[in-house]
Amino acid sequence: MATAYGQAGERRSEEKFFLVMAWLMSATIVAGFALNLVLGRSTFAVPLVFHLHAFVFFGWVALYLAQNTLIAGEGLALHRRLGWLAVAWVPAMLVLGVMMTLVSLRTHGGPPFFDKREFLVGNPVGLLAFAALVASAITLRRRTAWHRRLMLCGMALLTAPGLGRLLPTPLFIPYAWVVVNLATLVFPGFAMIADRRRHGRVHPALWWGVAIIVGALAAGEAIAHSPVGSRLTSWVVEGTPGAARPVEAHFP
């Protein structure tokens, strides 16, 4: 008979698994940005908004790691108090994420291996999906199995920038944006495999999480490649250096 999700014998095993997944996703993000620094593709000599963006987004990574560490170490009381930081942190991530998308597009047209329209539309849509997953997880915080799986799916969405820097992204042109975003599903996929082995079935929270990730990607693609997406992109970059870059993805 399949074990229940709340059974005490499975609790510790799950806590350890989600802690390992937290470290794995965090390491993916850090490794992607570190690789860019090592290869000289990025620098710390950038405007203030870049540093604010990095502080807020890497702050979330640190918070997610801390929360999973506290749960694995029986620090439930502090975990609950610290969790309320997300209420203020996620809106800041939304604002700075959109700001950085606009700055990147207007400065140099965004990453060349992504279509400008996909980059402009897909980033905010993905951030909204992340916010929806986190908000749902907070709402269902008393249902631990739902809470931790929805949070994992939200964190998985944030690994896209790290994966985009680690994968041979230019080789996926013109489907680089889709490939990188679908690659984030590897983390919910690991959780699904773990659920099947531990409980005999996949928890519905993971199906919902995957559906939201895929749905956000599909919605972003539909809007980006519509006349609205094209006009919006032209309007955003008009009169800026980013306008000189081709709209379509290309090798730099």
**What is the residue-level pLDDT of the chain in tens, covering all 252 positions?**
344 455 656 778 888 999 999 999 999 999 999 988 887 777 777 788 888 999 999 999 999 999 999 988 878 888 888 888 888 899 999 999 999 999 999 999 999 999 999 999 999 999 999 999 999 999 999 999 999 999 999 999 999 999 999 999 999 999 999 999 999 999 999 999 999 999 899 999 999 999 999 999 999 999 999 999 999 999 999 999 999 999 999 987
Q: What is the pLDDT of residue 61?
A: 96
* Residue 252 domain-assigned (yes or no): no
Question: Are the C-beta atoms of 165 and 33 separated by less than 8 Å?
Answer: yes
Residue 140 φ/ψ, nearest 5 degrees: -100, 30
* Residue 248 domain-assigned (yes or no): no
Q: What is the DSSP letter of 228?
A: H
Domain count across the chain? 1
Residue 153 φ/ψ, nearest 5 degrees: -65, -40
Question: What digits encode the pLDDT tens for the residues 137-160?
Answer: 999 999 999 999 999 999 999 999
As a whole number of angstroms, the distance between CA 240 and CA 130 comes to 30
What the block records as the tokens of 192 is 């699904």
* Residue 217 domain-assigned (yes or no): yes
Give the relative orientation of helices 85-108 and 76-83 as an angle to the nearest 10 degrees.
Answer: 50
Cβ contacts of 166 within 8 Å, gap of 6 or more: 28, 31, 32, 35
Question: Are the C-beta atoms of 79 and 15 separated by less than 8 Å?
Answer: no
Q: What is the pLDDT of residue 2?
A: 42
Whole-number average pLDDT of the chain: 92
* Residue 246 domain-assigned (yes or no): no
Q: Which domain holds residue 178?
A: 8-240
Question: Are the C-beta atoms of 153 and 195 separated by less than 8 Å?
Answer: no
